[in-house]
Amino acid sequence: QLVQSGAEVKKPGAAVKVSCEVSGYKFTDYFMHWVRQSPGKGPEWMGLIDPEEGETIFAEKFQGRVTLIADTSADTVHMELNSLAGEDTAMYYCALGGATLMDGFDIWGQGTMVTVSS
Protein backbone atom coordinates (compact mmCIF):
# COMPACT_ATOMS: atom_id res chain seq x y z
CA GLN A 1 0.00 0.00 0.00
CA LEU A 2 1.20 3.49 -0.86
CA VAL A 3 -0.14 6.44 1.13
CA GLN A 4 0.69 9.95 -0.02
CA SER A 5 0.69 13.26 1.78
CA GLY A 6 -2.12 15.75 1.44
CA ALA A 7 -2.96 18.37 -1.14
CA GLU A 8 -0.75 21.43 -1.49
CA VAL A 9 -1.26 24.98 -2.76
CA LYS A 10 1.91 26.82 -3.72
CA LYS A 11 2.85 30.13 -5.27
CA PRO A 12 4.85 30.35 -8.51
CA GLY A 13 8.56 30.00 -7.88
CA ALA A 14 8.10 27.99 -4.70
CA ALA A 15 8.93 24.33 -4.10
CA VAL A 16 6.65 21.50 -3.09
CA LYS A 17 7.44 18.27 -1.28
CA VAL A 18 5.19 15.23 -1.59
CA SER A 19 5.67 12.09 0.48
CA CYS A 20 4.78 8.50 -0.21
CA GLU A 21 4.78 6.05 2.69
CA VAL A 22 4.84 2.38 1.85
CA SER A 23 3.65 -0.65 3.76
CA GLY A 24 3.15 -4.34 3.12
CA TYR A 25 6.47 -5.08 1.46
CA LYS A 26 10.18 -4.58 1.98
CA PHE A 27 10.82 -0.94 1.13
CA THR A 28 14.23 -1.49 -0.42
CA ASP A 29 13.20 -4.34 -2.72
CA TYR A 30 11.48 -2.34 -5.45
CA PHE A 31 11.93 0.83 -7.47
CA MET A 32 9.54 3.70 -6.82
CA HIS A 33 8.28 5.78 -9.72
CA TRP A 34 6.67 9.21 -9.76
CA VAL A 35 4.05 10.16 -12.31
CA ARG A 36 2.05 13.35 -12.64
CA GLN A 37 -1.17 14.09 -14.44
CA SER A 38 -2.30 17.61 -15.29
CA PRO A 39 -6.06 18.25 -15.36
CA GLY A 40 -7.58 16.74 -18.49
CA LYS A 41 -4.24 15.36 -19.68
CA GLY A 42 -2.53 11.98 -19.76
CA PRO A 43 -0.02 10.74 -17.20
CA GLU A 44 3.56 11.92 -17.46
CA TRP A 45 6.45 9.89 -16.07
CA MET A 46 8.78 12.01 -13.95
CA GLY A 47 11.41 9.70 -12.56
CA LEU A 48 12.26 6.84 -10.26
CA ILE A 49 14.41 6.00 -7.28
CA ASP A 50 16.09 2.82 -6.09
CA PRO A 51 15.31 3.04 -2.36
CA GLU A 52 18.19 0.75 -1.47
CA GLU A 53 20.96 2.60 -3.30
CA GLY A 54 19.34 6.02 -3.48
CA GLU A 55 20.07 6.20 -7.20
CA THR A 56 17.66 8.15 -9.35
CA ILE A 57 16.70 8.48 -13.01
CA PHE A 58 14.62 11.38 -14.30
CA ALA A 59 12.80 12.27 -17.46
CA GLU A 60 14.81 14.88 -19.34
CA LYS A 61 12.04 17.41 -18.80
CA PHE A 62 12.45 17.27 -15.01
CA GLN A 63 16.24 16.99 -14.76
CA GLY A 64 17.58 19.53 -12.30
CA ARG A 65 14.15 20.49 -10.97
CA VAL A 66 13.03 17.38 -9.13
CA THR A 67 14.64 15.53 -6.24
CA LEU A 68 13.75 12.07 -4.96
CA ILE A 69 14.90 10.90 -1.55
CA ALA A 70 14.28 7.54 0.10
CA ASP A 71 14.06 7.53 3.88
CA THR A 72 14.66 3.91 4.81
CA SER A 73 14.02 4.59 8.50
CA ALA A 74 10.44 5.59 7.69
CA ASP A 75 9.78 3.53 4.55
CA THR A 76 8.96 6.79 2.79
CA VAL A 77 9.97 8.35 -0.51
CA HIS A 78 9.93 12.14 -0.78
CA MET A 79 9.55 13.98 -4.07
CA GLU A 80 10.50 17.66 -4.20
CA LEU A 81 9.77 19.81 -7.22
CA ASN A 82 11.13 23.34 -7.26
CA SER A 83 10.68 26.52 -9.30
CA LEU A 84 6.97 25.81 -9.60
CA ALA A 85 4.89 27.34 -12.39
CA GLY A 86 1.21 27.13 -13.28
CA GLU A 87 1.92 24.23 -15.63
CA ASP A 88 2.99 22.18 -12.62
CA THR A 89 -0.58 22.14 -11.33
CA ALA A 90 -1.32 18.42 -11.40
CA MET A 91 -2.06 15.27 -9.49
CA TYR A 92 1.19 13.67 -8.43
CA TYR A 93 1.37 9.91 -7.91
CA CYS A 94 3.95 7.54 -6.54
CA ALA A 95 3.80 4.11 -8.15
CA LEU A 96 5.48 0.90 -7.13
CA GLY A 97 7.83 -0.60 -9.68
CA GLY A 98 9.52 -3.95 -9.72
CA ALA A 99 12.90 -5.33 -8.85
CA THR A 100 14.37 -4.21 -12.18
CA LEU A 101 14.21 -0.97 -14.14
CA MET A 102 12.23 -2.69 -16.88
CA ASP A 103 9.43 -3.75 -14.58
CA GLY A 104 6.31 -1.64 -14.90
CA PHE A 105 4.45 -0.02 -12.03
CA ASP A 106 1.23 -1.63 -10.93
CA ILE A 107 0.36 -0.20 -7.51
CA TRP A 108 -0.28 3.51 -7.25
CA GLY A 109 -0.71 5.87 -4.37
CA GLN A 110 -3.95 7.78 -4.02
CA GLY A 111 -2.42 10.87 -5.56
CA THR A 112 -1.55 14.32 -4.20
CA MET A 113 -3.06 17.37 -5.84
CA VAL A 114 -0.60 20.24 -6.20
CA THR A 115 -2.04 23.58 -7.22
CA VAL A 116 0.25 26.42 -8.25
CA SER A 117 -1.45 29.78 -8.09
CA SER A 118 -0.55 33.32 -7.22
Partner 1 sequence: QSALTQPASVSGSPGQSITISCTGTSSDVGGHDSVSWYQQYPDSAPQVIVYDVYKRPSGVSNRFSGSKSGNTASLTISGLLPDDECHYYCCSYTSTSTWVFGGGTKLTVL
Per-residue contact flags (x/-) with partner 1 for residues 15 to 54, judged by CB under 8 A: ------------------x-x-----xxxxx-xx------
Q: Which of residues 48-107 bind partner 1 (CB under 8 A)?
A: 48, 57-60, 93, 101-106
Coil, helix or strand at residue 22: strand
- Other CB atoms within a 10 A radius of the CB of residue 52 amount to 14
Q: Which of 14, 52 has the CB closer to partner 1?
A: 52
Q: Tell the smallest beta-carbon distance from residue 15 to partner 1 (Å).
A: 23
Q: Which of 11, 41 has the CB closer to partner 1?
A: 41
Q: Tell the smallest beta-carbon distance from residue 102 to partner 1 (Å).
A: 5
Coil, helix or strand at residue 88: helix
Q: Tell me the backbone φ, ψ of residue 27, rounded to 5 degrees.
A: -50, -40
- Please provide the DSSP assignment of 47-85 as one string: EEE-TTT--EEE-GGGTTTEEEEEETTTTEEEEEE-S--
Residues in the site for partner 1, rule: CB under 8 A? 33, 35, 41-45, 47-48, 57-60, 93, 101-106, 108-111
